[in-house]
Amino acid sequence: MSRLGLAILRLLHAVLPHAGLVRLGEWLGALLHAVARERRQVVLTNLRLCFPEMAEAERTALCRANFRALGRATLLETVSWWGDRAEVERLTRFEGLENVRPHLGKPLIWLAPHFVGLNIGGVRVTAEFAPIVSLYSRIKNPHVDRLMLHARTRFGDSEMYSRRDGIKPVIRAIKKGRPFYYLPDMDFGRKDAIFVPFFGVPAATITGLSRLARATGAVVVPCITRWQDGHFVTRFHPAWQDFPSEDVEADTRRMNAFIEDRIREMPEQYFWPHMRFKTRPEGKKGSLYGH
């Protein structure tokens, strides 16, 4: 995205109420669905792999809804970039705080899968509980990369590390009692990953949740953000019991199964444009995405 594009987004944030950003974002998402053929095919491939029982017409409708949700979240994310704390709080709310309060100040990992409200939810979490710690993947566009990093640190002295920095500084921060906002549900390649089912399809899945919980003694509290009734609602689920186990693979399967259950509750709000099955198991040739 160019500086001009960001300037236009900043202007839209300044002049439109939240309801206007919602309507325009959903319209832009529908437009992107119509013109972004390659990305649309990625979404449809993921939906076909994950929901083979669905009729094709149902998957097509879900794909359209996913693009509208992405467009809406993108424009509303301008609130996390340029809105003050009061505006962020008007757009967001919490549920399940009773599940997280007993663990604050102790080693704590928030499992935060890639639903479309992830970023705005993360900014609200940071504003409420800073300082926290998180990992992020650098964005190729330097303007957007700086803006996203700014949004995630603007409301407190939080620690943000690139995945290239390694995990040691994160472990130190968790042990100091800084909650770790963790996003482990994407295909990061073979490094530190094993193949476990995701909707029944072998998916390269990093084992970091199990390993970090064991290394730090942290409690895992899932933290899921969804769009609901005109707000982004971040819900803290009950802390996982008997985690980690002695079996890293079982722990990683448990994580994927939990994420699957949350996706089934709101399938249109998951980040389906990501090539979740890009990395193939040994011996499997050819891309599932047709290129």
- CA-CA distance, 141 to 50, in Å (whole number)? 31
Percent of the chain with pLDDT over 70: 99
pLDDT at 140: 80
Please, are residues 281 and 195 in contact by the beta-carbon 8 Å criterion? yes
Q: Name the percent of the chain in helix, strand, coil, to the closest 5.
A: 50, 15, 30
Pick the CATH number of 3-269 from 3.30.160, 1.10.10, 1.10.3470, 3.40.1130: 3.40.1130
Does position 138 have pLDDT exceeding 80, yes or no?
no
Mean pLDDT of 105-119: 96
Lookup: tokens for 226: 């969804």
Please, are residues 134 and 244 in contact by the beta-carbon 8 Å criterion? no
Please, are residues 216 and 75 in contact by the beta-carbon 8 Å criterion? no
Mean pLDDT of 176-189: 95
- Least confidently predicted of 24-38, 49-63, 147-161, 180-194: 147-161
pLDDT at 26: 98
pLDDT at 136: 82
User: Average model confidence (pLDDT) for the chain?
Assistant: 94
Please, are residues 180 and 218 in contact by the beta-carbon 8 Å criterion? yes
- CA-CA distance, 114 to 225, in Å (whole number)? 9
Angle at which helices 118-129 and 56-82 cross, to 10°: 40
**Residue pLDDT, tens place only, 203-220:** 999 999 999 999 999 999
Mean pLDDT of 5-18: 94
Does the model's pTM come out above 0.75? yes
Mean pLDDT of 175-192: 94
Please, are residues 55 and 254 in contact by the beta-carbon 8 Å criterion? no
Lookup: tokens for 113: 């899968």
Distances (CA, A) of 80 to 39, 77, 213: 25, 5, 29
- 282 φ, ψ (degrees, to nearest 5): -55, 135
